[in-house]
């Protein structure tokens, strides 16, 4: 890694801050655990044996590297930039989530933790956590909003099949933010034996940095693969953002390549003037779930209920490093509505024979806008962060109501 | 003002008894009922009032206090009204300390400087902010103490001897010992374990120690005050449950709501007060 004094890749500081964002806003009960985790992670990061073991699993269990695929028919259709898909949906468990979970489970094992808890929205992080807990013989409890349990049934069944206990969360809005509250409550209660495996680049330090580091394999591979395919780096990167882990994994290794345009795509739900999940576009800085970041909330600081057709983006916050990169203008934040995401999912399925998840379909919707404006030699990479099987019911229902 | 808290603990020490700290959620089930409850608490035996600032996402609270916060928000409670409630309370009571308890986001969004100015003006004495550990002291703790408010820190079973000095460093008013690892209202603490913890914290500070989380009955309260040597006992979820239990089927206050709260507080107060008397005999 080329890390320079003026690099955008040096964050966070030793207290977990990216500019004013990040930090460690947790109850005292958890603070000693977070400090212990930070130490364990730093030790692991410095241990070549840790990386060697992780790389072995990434190759043989996860199935990395994931292909960088030239989306020829999408490119012809949009008549502009040359579009490449980074195919994270081909990973074991069907999404990018497994990259992070593998890393955290290996840290948990080093710490001697036997009980793993996780929150999940769409269920992909829950499935990845259940999978690795099965692989390593660990107890696994997944908190999932009751609304999400209903709209992501196949993933609930997968988690149970893998031996995990899925606990539906009925408090608050019954979605991802409430699942995270409940996981934190579990952690506060079961401090001695429990490891909290957070699914995105959010939460108290060191989670945003640790999850980012584990996801950076996406961007590192993309650099190498694009050099092999085209002999140069891409001109632009596009990824969807809920908490933002697939996006951060792709973006981070390119942050210091100043000429590369970087686009994050938030979920605009029913529209930015209605109910949505776009924290940067419609939120302001606040403190929730252990970090300061952009949040959707009212003028009293009460957290708003987000809405997106995609359960994985249905969160009223965003990772603190994204908040920082947005403020300084390094990453440009756009959004796509439910309608646009479903249309993009349909187009991609028909043109490329790839059914993307609703989450990356948001990024695809912006690719459909951005690509036609670019010249034919512009190389655009989009992270296809997950596959769409889990969403077929939701999409079918949605299309039914639109008839 | 820290002075009101210091005065109250000095009085308690002179009387040779432990204090009773009662938690209610501001605006639960509505503004005027919660004001009436707050005004009735000292007469029922509460020595200090903790007033919850409602928040949508209280990550360290159990179902009882979560629900109380949502009831209050639904009834239109917000930070302005919580401060107004303190002002209204102060019109008739200038002695009972009031500590605001909650989470950082509503304060951060209100604006720290403005919040401290308005809280002091309203007659608030101290703050307990669950999600601000010593690592984030610059956010609110230090400005609050400079403004004259006490910043009351939570110490927990995971706060070991190595960490205690950092936790106690910028603490004033009293120390709130969270007697269990867990959320509010969940488990009942074992008196013997609490006793060891109180003794351990007392080796590090001269501040009074209040013990809370999981205290529900007069018996518990007496055990914590007598057996564990706490300077005060905090009761929250049980009181919030008593309020909830008095509501009509639509969740509105009934004719019994204030009385339900004061009846429980009277019982708890008798438990706490009997403790030191017996210990002193």
A401 touching chain B per CB within 8 A:
no
Does the structure show a pLDDT above 80 at B277? no
- Residue A206 counted as domain residue: yes
Residue listed under structure tokens 């007697």: B179
pLDDT at B281: 37
DSSP code per residue over A81-101: SEEEEE-GGGSTTSBTHHHHH
C-alpha distances (whole Å) from A387 to each of A244, A263, A356 are 17, 21, 5
Region A248-257 average pLDDT: 98
Look at B181 and A29 and tell me if their CB atoms are within 8 Å.
Answer: yes
User: Which CATH number goes with the domain that contains A320?
Assistant: 3.40.50.1100
Are A135 and A253 part of one and the same domain?
Answer: no
Write down which residue in A211, A242, A270 finishes a domain. Answer: A211
Size of interface A-B (CB pairs under 8 A): 119
Calculate how close chain B gets to A20, using CA atoms only, in Å: 11
* Selected residue with higher pLDDT from A343 and B273: A343
Instruction: Give the count of domains, chain B.
Output: 1
* CA atoms of A392 and A398, how far apart (whole Å): 10
- Asked if A27's CB is within 8 angstroms of B60's CB, the reply is yes
Over pLDDT 90: what percentage of chain A? Answer: 92
Which of A17-31, A83-97, A258-272, A303-317 comes out lowest in average pLDDT?
A: A303-317
| Cβ within 8 Å of B, A 161-200 | 171-172, 177-178, 181, 184-185, 188-192
| % of chain B surpassing 70 pLDDT | 98
A297 touches chain B (CB under 8 A): yes
Q: How confident is the model at residue A57 (pLDDT cuts 50, 70, 90)?
A: very high
Residues A376, A293 share a domain? yes
Of A211, A235, A258, the domain-final residue: A211
> Roughly what angle, to the nearest 10 degrees, separates helices B237-245 and B63-74?
50
Please give the pLDDT value at position B18: 94
* Contacts (Cβ under 8 Å, ≥6 apart) of B49: B21, B22, B24, B38, B41, B42, B89, B96, B97, B98, B99
Q: What is the distance between the alpha carbons of residues A182 and A166, in angstroms, rounded to a whole number?
A: 12
Residue B11, pLDDT above cutoff 70 = yes
DSSP letters spanning B198-237: HHHHHTT--S-EEEESS--SHHHHHHHHHTS--SEEEE-H
Q: Does any domain span residue A305? A: yes
Does position B100 have pLDDT exceeding 80, yes or no?
A: yes
Q: Is the pLDDT of residue A1 over 60?
A: no
Q: State the smallest CA–CA distance between residue B279 and chain A in angstroms.
A: 31
Tell me what pLDDT residue B1 has: 60
A276 falls within a domain = yes
**Please, which residues have CB within 8 angstroms of residue B233's CB and are 6 or more apart in sequence?**
B18, B19, B20, B21, B210, B211, B212, B215, B221, B224, B225, B268, B272
**What domain range includes position B134?**
2-280
Whether A54 shows a pLDDT value over 90: the answer reads yes
- Predicted pLDDT at A6: 83
A233 or B189: which carries more pLDDT confidence?
A233
Is there a single domain that holds both residue A153 and residue A226? no
Instruction: Note the pLDDT tens digit of each residue in A211-231.
Output: 999 999 999 999 999 999 999
B133 to A175, B170, B261: CA distances (angstroms): 27, 11, 31
Instruction: Decide if A352 is inside a domain.
Output: yes
Whether residue A83 is found in the same domain as residue A144: no
Mean pLDDT is lowest, of A344-348, B98-102, B164-168, B275-279, for B275-279
Question: Does any domain span residue A8?
Answer: no
Q: Compute the distance between CA of residue B98 and CA of residue A153 in angstroms, rounded to an integer.
A: 48
Among this protein's residues, is B61 annotated catalytic? yes
Residue A342 buriedness (CB in 10 A; 0-12 / 13-18 / 19+): buried
pLDDT in tens, A158-175: 999 999 999 999 988 888
Q: Are residues A110 and A128 in the same domain?
A: yes
Tell me which chain A residues have a C-beta less than 8 angstroms from the C-beta of B78: 300, 302
Given the residues A86, A97, A174, A374, the one annotated as active site: A97
Q: Which of B66, B105, B131 lies nearest to residue A171, judging by beta carbons?
A: B66
**What average pLDDT does the segment B29-56 reach?**
98
> Residue B278: which pLDDT band, with cuts at 50, 70 and 90?
very low
The encoded tokens of residue A363 equal 């990024």
Average pLDDT of span A96-103: 98
A340 and A268 in a common domain: yes
DSSP letter for A387, please.
Answer: B
Position A151 scores a pLDDT of 81
The CATH number of whichever domain residue B69 belongs to comes to 3.20.20.70
The predicted-structure confidence for A258-267, as pLDDT tens digits, reads as follows 999 999 999 9
Q: Which residue of A has its CA nearest to B153?
A: A28
pLDDT at position A279 over 50: yes
Residue B45 has pLDDT above 90, yes or no: yes
Query: Is the model's pLDDT at B185 over the cut of 90?
Result: no
3-class secondary-structure state, position B173 = coil
β-partners of residue B100 are: B51, B127
Averaged pLDDT for residues B99-124:
98
Residues A285 and A359 in one domain: yes
Structural domain count of chain A: 2
Residue in A115, A194, A301 to test binding to B, most B beta-carbons within 10 Å: A301
Task: State how far residue A26 is from chain B, nearest Cα, in angstroms.
Answer: 4
Spell out which residues of chain B touch residue A26, defining contact as CB-CB under 8 Å.
Answer: 131, 133
Is A7 among the domain residues? no
Residue A196 belongs to what domain range? 24-59+97-211
Mean pLDDT in chain A? 96
A379/A298 same-domain check = yes
Q: Is residue A13 part of a domain?
A: no
Q: CA distances (Å), B156 to each of A188, B60, B159, B191, B195, in order?
A: 10, 12, 5, 15, 13
Q: How far is B92 from chain A (nearest CA, A)?
A: 28
> Which residue from A33, A299, A303 is facing B56, i.e. has the nearest CB?
A303
Q: Which of A95-99, B226-230, B243-247 has the lowest mean pLDDT?
A: B226-230
| Interval A66-70 mean pLDDT | 98
A333 beta partners? A264
Considering the domain architecture, whether residues A280 and A387 belong to the same structural domain is answered as: yes
pLDDT of residue B213: 85
Residue A70 and residue A50 share a domain? no
Q: Are A340 and A221 contained in the same domain?
A: yes
CB contact under 8 A, A28 and B57: no
**For A376-400, how does the pLDDT look when each residue is reduced to its tens digit (9 = 90+)?**
999 999 999 999 998 998 899 999 9
**Cα–Cα distance, A16 to A320 (Å, whole number):** 10
Torsion, CA A99, CA A12, CA A267, CA A103, rounded to 10: 10
Mean pLDDT of chain B: 94
**Closest partner CB to A33 (pick from B57, B60, B158):** B158
Q: A203 pLDDT exceeds 90?
A: yes
In a domain, A247, yes or no: yes
Is there a contact between B105 and A303 if contact means CB atoms under 8 Å apart? yes
Test A302 with B73 for CB contact under 8 angstroms. Answer: yes
Of A192, A211, A230, which residue sits at a domain end? A211
CA distance B27 to chain A (A): 14
Mean of the pLDDT values across residues A130-139? 98
How much of chain A exceeds pLDDT 70, in percent? 99
Per-residue pLDDT for A293 more than 80? yes
Active site residue A119: yes
Q: Chain A interface, mutation test: which of B53, B68, B118, B135, most A Cβ atoms within 10 Å? A: B135
User: Is residue A89 located within the same domain as residue A144?
Assistant: no
pLDDT at residue A145, rounded to an integer: 95
């Amino acid at each position: 890694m080329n890390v320079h004094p003026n690099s955008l890749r040096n964050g966070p500081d030793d207290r977990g801050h990216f500019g004013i964002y990040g930090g460690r806003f947790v109850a005292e009960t958890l603070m000693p655990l977070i400090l212990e985790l930070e130490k364990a992670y730093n030790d692991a990061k410095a241990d070549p044996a840790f990386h060697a073991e992780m790389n072995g699993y990434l190759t043989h269990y996860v199935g990395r590297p994931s292909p960088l695929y030239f989306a020829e028919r999408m490119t012809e259709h949009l008549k502009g930039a040359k579009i490449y898909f980074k195919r994270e949906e081909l990973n074991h468990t069907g999404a990018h989530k497994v990259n992070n979970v593998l890393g955290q489970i290996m840290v948990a094992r080093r710490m001697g933790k036997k009980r793993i808890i996780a929150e999940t929205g769409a269920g992909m992080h829950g499935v990845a956590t259940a999978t690795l807990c099965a692989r390593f013989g660990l107890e696994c409890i997944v908190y999932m909003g009751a609304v999400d349990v209903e709209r992501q049934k196949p993933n609930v069944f997968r988690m149970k099949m893998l031996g995990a206990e899925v606990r539906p969360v009925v408090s608050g809005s019954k979605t991802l933010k409430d699942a995270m509250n409940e996981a934190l409550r579990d952690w506060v209660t079961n401090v001695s034996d429990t490891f909290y495996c957070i699914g995105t680049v959010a939460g108290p330090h060191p989670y945003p940095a640790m999850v980012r580091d584990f996801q950076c394999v996406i961007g590192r591979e993309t650099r190498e693969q694009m050099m092999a395919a085209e002999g140069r780096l891409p001109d632009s990167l596009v990824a969807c953002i809920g908490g933002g882990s697939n996006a951060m994994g792709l973006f981070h290794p390119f942050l210091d390549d100043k000429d590369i345009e970087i686009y994050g795509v938030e979920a605009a739900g029913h529209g930015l003037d209605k109910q949505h999940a776009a924290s940067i576009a419609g939120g302001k800085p606040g403190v929730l779930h252990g970090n300061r970041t952009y949040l959707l909330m009212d003028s009293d600081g009460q957290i708003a209920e987000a809405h997106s057709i995609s359960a994985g983006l249905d969160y009223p916050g965003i990772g603190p490093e994204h908040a920082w990169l947005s403020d300084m203008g390094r990453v440009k934040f756009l959004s796509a509505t439910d309608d646009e995401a479903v249309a993009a999912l349909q187009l991609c399925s028909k043109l490329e024979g790839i059914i993307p998840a609703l989450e990356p379909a948001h990024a695809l919707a912006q690719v459909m806008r951005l690509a036609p404006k670019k010249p034919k030699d512009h190389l655009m990479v989009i992270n296809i962060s997950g596959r769409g099987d889990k969403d077929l019911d939701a999409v079918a229902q949605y299309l039914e109501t639109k008839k | 003002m820290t002075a009101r808290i210091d005065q109250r603990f000095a009085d308690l020490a002179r009387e040779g008894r432990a204090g009773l700290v009662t938690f209610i959620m501001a605006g639960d089930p509505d503004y005027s009922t919660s004001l009436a409850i707050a005004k009735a608490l000292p007469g029922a035996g509460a020595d200090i009032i903790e007033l919850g600032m409602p928040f949508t996402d209280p990550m360290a609270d159990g179902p009882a206090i979560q629900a109380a916060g949502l009831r209050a928000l639904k009834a239109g409670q917000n930070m302005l009204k919580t401060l107004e409630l303190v002002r209204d309370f102060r019109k008739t009571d200038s002695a009972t300390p009031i500590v605001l308890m909650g989470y950082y986001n509503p304060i951060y969004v209100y604006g720290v400087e403005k919040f401290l100015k308005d809280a002091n003006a309203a007659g608030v004495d101290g703050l307990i902010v669950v999600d601000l550990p010593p690592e984030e002291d610059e956010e609110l703790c230090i400005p609050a103490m400079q403004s004259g408010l006490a910043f009351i820190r939570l110490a927990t079973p995971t706060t070991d001897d190595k960490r205690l000095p950092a936790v106690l460093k910028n603490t004033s008013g009293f120390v709130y010992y969270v007697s269990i690892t867990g959320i509010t209202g969940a488990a009942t603490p074992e008196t013997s374990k609490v006793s060891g913890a109180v003794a351990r914290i007392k080796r590090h500070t001269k501040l009074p120690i209040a013990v809370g989380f999981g205290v529900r009955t007069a018996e518990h309260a007496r055990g914590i005050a007598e057996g564990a040597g706490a300077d005060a006992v905090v009761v929250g979820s049980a009181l919030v449950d008593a309020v909830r239990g008095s509501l009509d089927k639509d969740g509105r206050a009934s004719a019994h709501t204030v009385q339900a709260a004061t009846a429980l507080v009277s019982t708890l107060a008798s438990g706490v007060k009997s403790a030191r008397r017996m210990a002193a005999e």
